[in-house]
Structure 1
Amino acid sequence: MTVVVNQVKKEEEDLLDIEFWLSRPASERIAEVTRLRKAYYTWLLGSYPQHLEKVITKRKNVI
């Protein structure tokens, strides 16, 4: 097995993350946000809440 390492400048890291996630289908992005949300709330509260309030905030593009 070969280990591959890519060095990326810190200021380019966010742009690469954004480009990666924009290249993924919406269903995959939503699934990942859901997975992260469940992991965070389980860590924070010990369990996932039965109800979450739906709040949508739209921000200007930073790219």
Structure 2
Amino acid sequence: MLLLIVAPRFYPSSKTCSSCGSVMDSMPLSIREWDCPCCGSHHDRDVNAAVSLKKYARIIA
């Protein structure tokens, strides 16, 4: 069975740490890599967004 889950339009996937779940207050689109101030994990913005959305889908489903 295939299940489609749609994240809310303004879900902060690219600025949510995929390691600890903390959310950055703001992040300009020009920032492509960042370090989480809570856990220190280094993230590529696009890869982190993909992992965050995958975790979101697992929580919702």
Please indicate the TM-score interval, normalised by the length of the shorter structure: 0.3 to 0.5
Q: Rg: which structure is higher?
A: 1
Higher normalized strand content (fraction of residues)? 2
Higher normalized helix content (fraction of residues)? 1
Higher relative contact order (CA 8 A, sep 6+): 2
